[in-house]
Amino acid sequence: MRHLPNIICLLRIALIWPILLSLQSGAYERTLWLFALAAASDGLDGYLAKRFGWTSQLGALLDPAADKLLLVSVFLLATWLGLIPLWLATVAVGRDVMIALGAVVYRLGWGPLRQRPILASKINTVVQLGYVLAVVVRAAYGVPPDRVIDALAILTAVTVLISGYGYVREIAQRGLRLAA
């Protein structure tokens, strides 16, 4: 049972391809159910890991990787399909690229970066998942109205920027402390 959170993460990764295929084919209702399952699995694996102490180094890498693979791939395809505005995809994917580059620079300059997710990043992940769900519901059923989708896009951008700033600040402060 100790490895159940990791298995759930791997299943989330395995759901990415069917989600992308259903989104690409315009099967929005199927996309909605598959994406909702993937989003719920994110909460479930985290709950199980914390509740029962089923944490591992592999899980610490798999969970954020699964989140990023899911969100980046869906954001890119949904933007290509005209469901998500280009500016929002640029901000969201740009944040992830910036964090990855910062981690690489830190690793090269100071060694391994042992980084736990910050609260702003967890909130951002939930908001991004909610935004994608709302966009797919809109594509499938015509609701919620545009103003709600637009407000969720702005909220998503704000959480992306706040969490990105938090990571940049934290990595930069660590690097400066080690360099001094």
Q: Encode pLDDT of 12-53 as tens digits.
A: 999 999 999 999 999 999 999 999 999 999 999 999 999 999
Structure tokens at 178: 């080690």
User: Cis link prior to 18 (omega < 30° from 0)?
Assistant: no
Determine the residue type at 104.
V
Quick one: what percent of the chain has pLDDT higher than 90? 78
User: What value does the mean pLDDT of the chain take?
Assistant: 93
In the chain, DSSP assigns E strands to none
> What CATH number has the domain bearing residue 166?
1.20.120.1760
The count of structural domains within the chain is 1
For residue 105, the model assigns a pLDDT of 84
pTM of the model: 0.93
Q: Does residue 174 or residue 127 have the better pLDDT?
A: 127
For residue 73, the model assigns a pLDDT of 98
CA quadruple 12, 8, 125, 105: dihedral, nearest 10: -90
Q: Encode pLDDT of 140-163 as tens digits.
A: 999 999 999 999 999 999 999 999
Q: Is the pLDDT of residue 180 over 80?
A: no
For residue 179, the model assigns a pLDDT of 79
- Long-range CB contact pairs, 62-69, < 8 A, 24+: 62/6, 62/9, 62/10, 62/13, 63/5, 63/9, 64/117, 65/13, 66/9, 66/10, 66/12, 66/13, 66/42, 67/42, 67/125, 68/96, 69/13, 69/16
Domain interval for residue 67: 4-179
How far apart CA 85 and CA 149 sit, in angstroms, is 11
Upper half-sphere CA count for residue 180 (Cβ side, 13 Å): 6
144 in helix, strand or coil? coil
For residue 175, the model assigns a pLDDT of 79
What confidence category does residue 110 fall into, taking pLDDT thresholds of 50, 70 and 90?
A: confident
How far apart CA 38 and CA 57 sit, in angstroms, is 21
